[in-house]
Amino acid sequence: MSLDLAAIRTAHDRIRPHIHCTPVLTSARLDAAAGGALFFKCENFQKVGAFKARGATNAVFSLTAAEAARGVATHSSGNHAAALARAARLRGIPAYIVMPANSSKTKIRAVEGYGGRITFCEPTAAAREETCARIVADTGAAMIHPFTDFRVMAGQGTAVIELLEDVPSLDTILCPVGGGGLLCGTAVAAKTLQPGIRVIAAEPTGAGDAAESFHAGHRIPVDHPHTIADGLRTSIGEPNFELIRRHVDDVVTVSEEGIVAAMRTIWETMKIIIEPSAAVPYAAIMESKVDVRDRRIGVIFSGGNVDLDALPWGLSGSA
Amino acid sequence: MSLDLAAIRTAHDRIRPHIHCTPVLTSARLDAAAGGALFFKCENFQKVGAFKARGATNAVFSLTAAEAARGVATHSSGNHAAALARAARLRGIPAYIVMPANSSKTKIRAVEGYGGRITFCEPTAAAREETCARIVADTGAAMIHPFTDFRVMAGQGTAVIELLEDVPSLDTILCPVGGGGLLCGTAVAAKTLQPGIRVIAAEPTGAGDAAESFHAGHRIPVDHPHTIADGLRTSIGEPNFELIRRHVDDVVTVSEEGIVAAMRTIWETMKIIIEPSAAVPYAAIMESKVDVRDRRIGVIFSGGNVDLDALPWGLSGSA
C-alpha cells in the first residue's frame, strides 16, 4: 500500500460526514506584515481540535466489519488518541489507548470523554510499544499508528484538498512536521493537484530531525526533543521520510522564542486559539525562513488544544 | 434625532466598505450542554477587535465635509477610542482621544497605532469630561460619545441585521449591556425586523445598573462598578435607558465566577478568543438566567481584546 491522490480523495468521501470542512481565514494585518497573502486553513476548529480527526476517522472507517469488530488500538499521549477514540465511538467499536502515566489530565479526560479504554504505561517509547503490542495480541484490535499508517496519512491529506478548493492559486503550502503524517498527506495531494506548488515543512529546532534528515538524505531520529510544540516531539517515520524526500521542497527550523511569538501574534491579531505546534509555520514566516514576499501562501493551523493554565507567556511572565 | 430601522440600514450601507461582515459560528457541544441551538455573532473578529468599529465608523462618515474637517473627539479608555481613531484615519481627519493616565499600555498603543491624538487626564469621570469639552471648544471637533450618540447606536445595530440575515428564525437575542449602545441598536433592529423576537440583555452583577434600572422603571447609575468585564463598567445612558424600556424584554445579571467560566468554556470549546464582556451573555446561559431549552438563540460576542498577560485563570491559579 502507498499514498496517492486517489487514496486521499477516497478518504475525503469516507470521512466527510464525520468531520468539519474547516474555514480558511485571512488577516489584512498579517498580510501587510509578511508582504504576501496568507491563507490559514483552520484545523484548530476541526473535531477534537486538530487535523488528527481526519486520519483517525479514515483509518477506522477503512476497516472491514470483521476487522472493526475487534476494535482499534494505538499509543499516543496527544490528539491522535482522542481522535481515534472518537472515530471508534462513531463506528461503535472499542478503542484501546495506551498512554504514558504522566500524560496531562486534559488529554486523559479527552480520551475518556470519547469512551476510549486507557491503559497506562511507563513514559518510555519501549513501554508504550510493548504495552500496545500486548493489547493487540490479546484483543485482535487493529493497530492504528499515529503517522506511519497510510490510511492515516490519506486522511490528513484531505485538509489541503479543501484548502486548494477554497483558494485555487497558491504558490506555497506551509505545514508543520512531527512524525510526518500531515506533511505526507499534504505534499502528495498538493503536488498532484498542482505540480508547480512548493510544499515547505516547518519544525522546531529543538526537534529538528526532519530538517536534518532531509538535508542529509537519510533518516536521523531525534534523541531528546526539546520544544514547547508538544505535537512535534516525535521523529519522522520511515515511510514518511521516503515520501518527504520525493514530494517536499524544503524543511526549515524555527526557535522556541519564535514559536511563542508566532502563537501570541495569531491569538492577538486573529482572535483564534492555536496550539504551539500549529504556530510553527507562521514562526517560519516571522523568522524569514521562507520567501513569502508577493506570494500566495497556504498555512495549515494544525490544532488548537492548549492548556490555558500553562500558557508560555504566563510562565515567562511569572518568572 | 432618534433611532429606527431606517437609520440602522443607512448606517449599514455607509460602513459596509470599512467593516467585516463577521461570521456566525455554532458548536454542537455547546448546543448539547444548553439544550438549545446557539448562534454566535463573532464581533471579536471585527475590525479593532470589537463591534465598536461599527458605531464609530457610522458616526465619522455621517459628518458633513465641513464638520469632518475639524475632526472628532471622545473620551474612552477602551475599544471605542481605537475604533474612533481608526474611523477618523479612514476619513483622513484628526481624532482627539482623552484617556485616563492609568489606561493599559495595550489600549494606548492601539489608539496610537491608528494615529489618534491622545490627551491624558486624571482617571475620574469629571476630568475626562472637562478635558474633552476643552478640546472640543479649542478645535471645533465633533464629540462622538461612545454610547449615547444615536449615530453610534445605529452603527452598533448593524451587527444584528447581519445575524438575522444569516439565521432568519431566532427566538431570542442575547446581548451584553454596559452603556447600552450595542443593546439599543440590537433591540430596535431585531424588534422591527421580527416583532416576536425576545431581546434579553446580560450584565455583570458587579455593574448591575441596567438590570436595577430596568426593574425599577427609572435610571439608577452604578457608583462603584466592580467587574472583570472592563467593557461593561459604565452606567447606561439616558437615551439608552428610554429605548431599553421600550424594546428590551429583560435584563439579567451574572456572577464574576460565571463570566470567567463562560470565557474559558468558549476559548476551550470553540478555540476563539473573546473578552470578558463578550462572555457575559453565555454566562447567563450557563447560570440558567435565560430559558434556552429547545430554542434558537442568537448570542453577540461583542469583542476579543484581552490582555494575554493578565488572564483571569492565570491570576487565580497563581494565588
Residue A318 lies in a domain: no
> Is the complex ipTM higher than 0.90?
yes
- Determine contact, residues A180/A147, Cβ cutoff 8 Å: yes
- Determine contact, residues B171/B198, Cβ cutoff 8 Å: yes
> Which residues, numbered 220 to 239 in chain B, qualify as contacts with chain A under a Cβ-Cβ cut-off of 8 Å?
none
Rounded to a whole number of angstroms, the distance from the CA of B269 to the nearest CA of chain A is 8
**Residue where a domain terminates, one of A100, A115, A146:** A146
Question: What's the farthest any 2 CA atoms get from each other in chain A?
Answer: 57
- Determine contact, residues A178/A211, Cβ cutoff 8 Å: no
Any B CB within 8 A of A273 CB? yes
Give the C-alpha separation, A174 to A161, whole Å: 14
Instruction: Based on the fold, state whether residues A26 and A88 are members of the same structural domain.
Output: no
Q: Does B18 score more than 70 pLDDT?
A: yes
* Spatial CB neighbours of B33, under 8 Å, sequence gap ≥ 6: none
Instruction: Based on the fold, state whether residues B288 and B247 are members of the same structural domain.
Output: yes
CB contact under 8 A, A45 and B309: no
CB pairs under 8 A between A and B: 44
Give the C-alpha separation, B13 to A204, whole Å: 47
Using alpha carbons, select from A122, A185, A183, A180 the residue that is nearest to residue A151: A185
Instruction: Based on the fold, state whether residues A244 and A308 are members of the same structural domain.
Output: yes
Rounded to a whole number of angstroms, the distance from the CA of B309 to the nearest CA of chain A is 6
Instruction: Based on the fold, state whether residues A168 and A289 are members of the same structural domain.
Output: yes
Give the C-alpha separation, B190 to B199, whole Å: 8
Average pLDDT of the residues of chain A: 95
Rounded to a whole number of angstroms, the distance from the CA of B1 to the nearest CA of chain A is 36
Rounded to a whole number of angstroms, the distance from the CA of A194 to the nearest CA of chain B is 30
What is the structure's pLDDT at A314? 63
Residue A263 lies in a domain: yes
Q: Does A317 score more than 90 pLDDT?
A: no
Instruction: Based on the fold, state whether residues A113 and A201 are members of the same structural domain.
Output: no
Residue A319 lies in a domain: no
Q: At what angle do helices A209-216 and A238-247 cross, to 10 degrees?
A: 60
Residues B26-64 as b/e (b if ≥16 CB within 10 A, e otherwise) read ebeebeeebebbbbbbbbbbbbbbbbbbbbbbbbbbbbe
Q: How confident is the model at residue B317 (pLDDT cuts 50, 70, 90)?
A: very low
Count CB atoms within 10 A of the CB of residue A248: 25
Give the C-alpha separation, B167 to B62, whole Å: 29
Q: Does A100 score more than 50 pLDDT?
A: yes
What is the structure's pLDDT at B146? 96
Q: What is the pLDDT of residues B99-123, one digit of tens each?
A: 988 888 888 999 999 999 999 999 8
Residue B39 CA neighbour count, 13 Å, CB half: 21
Residue A305 lies in a domain: yes
* Calculated CA dihedral for residues B204, B205, B206, B209, nearest 10 degrees: 90
What is residue A316's three-state secondary structure?
helix
Residue B119 cell numbers, joined: 490627551
Any A CB within 8 A of B264 CB? yes
Instruction: Based on the fold, state whether residues B163 and B251 are members of the same structural domain.
Output: yes
- Determine contact, residues A275/A183, Cβ cutoff 8 Å: no
Length of chain A: 319
Which of A23, A49, A271 faces B273 most closely, judged by CB atoms? A271
Instruction: Based on the fold, state whether residues B230 and B104 are members of the same structural domain.
Output: no
Instruction: Based on the fold, state whether residues A130 and A183 are members of the same structural domain.
Output: no
CB contact under 8 A, B271 and A271: no
In chain B, the DSSP E strands lie at: 24-25, 37-42, 72-75, 95-100, 117-121, 142-143, 172-176, 198-204, 250-254, 296-301
> Which amino acid would we find at residue B221?
P
Instruction: Based on the fold, state whether residues B236 and B277 are members of the same structural domain.
Output: yes
- Alpha-carbon distance values, A88 to A63, A68, A93, A117, B293 (Å): 11, 9, 5, 11, 30
Which of A23, A309, A313 faces B309 most closely, judged by CB atoms? A313
**Residue where a domain terminates, one of B99, B129, B148:** B148
CATH of the domain at A113: 3.40.50.1100
Q: Which domain holds residue B99?
A: 53-148
**Residue where a domain terminates, one of A146, A168, A184:** A146
User: Kind and range of the H or E element at A99?
Assistant: strand A95-100
Give the C-alpha separation, A154 to A143, whole Å: 16
Closest CA in chain A for residue B263? A308
Q: At what angle do helices B256-270 and B276-286 cross, to 10 degrees?
A: 100
The partner residues of A42 in beta bridges, in order of sequence, read A301
Count CB atoms within 10 A of the CB of residue A59: 31
Any B CB within 8 A of A319 CB? no
For cell 498580510, name the residue: A31
Concatenate the DSSP letters of all residues of B149-168 into one string. Answer: -HHHHHHHTHHHHHHHHHS-
Mutate to test the interface with A, among B265, B271, B318 (most CBs of A within 10 A): B271
Q: How confident is the model at residue B77 (pLDDT cuts 50, 70, 90)?
A: confident
The total of structural domains in chain B comes to: 2
Q: What is the pLDDT of residues A29-75, one digit of tens each?
A: 999 999 999 999 999 999 999 999 999 999 999 999 999 999 999 99
Q: What is the pLDDT of residues B34-68, one digit of tens each?
A: 999 999 999 999 999 999 999 999 999 999 999 99
Average pLDDT of the residues of chain B: 95
* Spatial CB neighbours of A11, under 8 Å, sequence gap ≥ 6: A54, A58, A62, A151, A154, A155, A157, A158
What is the structure's pLDDT at A1? 65
Instruction: Based on the fold, state whether residues B162 and B131 are members of the same structural domain.
Output: no
Angle value at C-alpha B309, between B308 and B311, nearest 5 degrees: 65
Rounded to a whole number of angstroms, the distance from the CA of A225 to the nearest CA of chain B is 27
Question: Average pLDDT, stretch B134-140?
Answer: 97
What is the structure's pLDDT at B1? 66
- Determine contact, residues A90/A56, Cβ cutoff 8 Å: no
Q: How far is CA A16 from the centre of its chain?
A: 18
- Alpha-carbon distance values, A319 to A111, A257, A315, B309 (Å): 32, 15, 6, 13
Any B CB within 8 A of A32 CB? no
Which of A79-93, A274-288, B93-107 has the weakest average pLDDT?
B93-107
For residue B113, which residues of chain A lie inside 8 Å, CB to CB? none
Q: Does B313 score more than 80 pLDDT?
A: yes
For cell 433592529, name the residue: B189
- Surface-to-core class of residue B268, CB atoms within 10 Å of its CB (0-12 exposed, 13-18 middle, 19+ buried): middle
Question: Average pLDDT, stretch A161-181?
Answer: 97
CB contact under 8 A, A44 and B313: no
Q: How confident is the model at residue A77 (pLDDT cuts 50, 70, 90)?
A: confident
Instruction: Based on the fold, state whether residues A94 and A188 are members of the same structural domain.
Output: no
CB contact under 8 A, B313 and A318: no
Which of A158-167, B71-80, B183-192 has the weakest average pLDDT?
B71-80
- Rounded to 5 degrees, what are φ and ψ at A175? -145, 135
What is the structure's pLDDT at A319? 34
- Of the two residues B255 and A76, the one the predictor is more confident about is B255
What is the structure's pLDDT at B318? 39
What is the structure's pLDDT at B319? 33
Closest CA in chain B for residue A274? B271
What is the structure's pLDDT at A76? 86
Instruction: Based on the fold, state whether residues A30 and A142 are members of the same structural domain.
Output: no
Give the C-alpha separation, A202 to B81, whole Å: 39
- Determine contact, residues B24/B166, Cβ cutoff 8 Å: yes
